[in-house]
Amino acid sequence: MKNARHVLRLAAILVVGVTSFIVVRRLLVPATFGEIGHYRAAAIEQIKSKPVRHAGADACVDCHSDVSDLKSTSKHAGIHCESCHGPGAAHAEDPDSADARPTRHLAQPRRLFCGACHSESISRPPFMRQVHLEIHYPKQPCTDCHQSHHPEVEK
């Protein structure tokens, strides 16, 4: 009988230990953890729900088809609107709001802005059309001669 009491005591300790482990684990491990893998499954939905800032190329064409038609025949054909104009999701959602208009193309002086791609640099690949900003009509804004949406100069 004495030996049986020892065994029972051990069993009780084991039961208490296992139960408290399960309870503590329940409290500490967040909901949805481990549903898919070793992470919170809910985090995926959380990350997905972040609002979009750049609307994407197709969003602009619906209203600005004239610009996209002009651009499609030029050297700038492959460049998406938001490359120069900045994020446009807010503008696409509320086209009438003046605050939501993409204004990135106005943030810098024109010559610096165009120079981001077109200023002379030995690191740029040779296909890129480049000019020395100090030599190439240094005082004039680029748009005096080049139309941004159709930059080829007509002679």
Partner 1 sequence: MNGKRGHSDTLTLSAGRDFSRRRFFGVLTRAAAVWGLLLNPLKAFAIRLHESPPWRKKKPYWGFAVDIDKCIGCGRCAEACKVENDVPREPFWFRTWVERYVIRKDGEVEVDSPNAGIDGFPPTQSPETVARTFFVPKLCNLCEKSPCVQVCPVGATFKTEDGVVLIDRDYCIGCRYCIQACPYGTRYFHPTLHVADKCNMCYHRITKGLKPACVEVCPTGARIFGDLSDPNSEVSKFSSENRVNVLKPHLGTQPKLVYKGMDKEVR
The stretch near partner 1 (CB under 8 A) out of 10-18, 42-50, 61-69, 90-98 is: 42-50
Q: Which is nearer to partner 1, 10 or 45 (CB)?
A: 45
Is residue 138 helix, strand or coil?
Answer: coil
- Please check whether residue 55 is in contact with residue 82, taking contact to mean a CB–CB distance below 8 angstroms: yes
Residue 82's CB is within 10 A of a number of other CB atoms, namely 19
Does residue 147 belong to the site contacting partner 1 (CB under 8 A)? no
The stretch near partner 1 (CB under 8 A) out of 2-10, 36-44, 63-71, 146-154 is: 36-44
- Cα 91 to Cα 101: distance, rounded to the nearest angstrom: 5
Half-sphere exposure of 67 (CA within 13 A, CB side): 14
Residue 117's CB is within 10 A of a number of other CB atoms, namely 14
Q: Which is nearer to partner 1, 129 or 139 (CB)?
A: 129
Does residue 146 belong to the site contacting partner 1 (CB under 8 A)? no
Pattern of binders to partner 1 over 48-77, x per CB under 8 A? xxxxxxx-xx--------------------
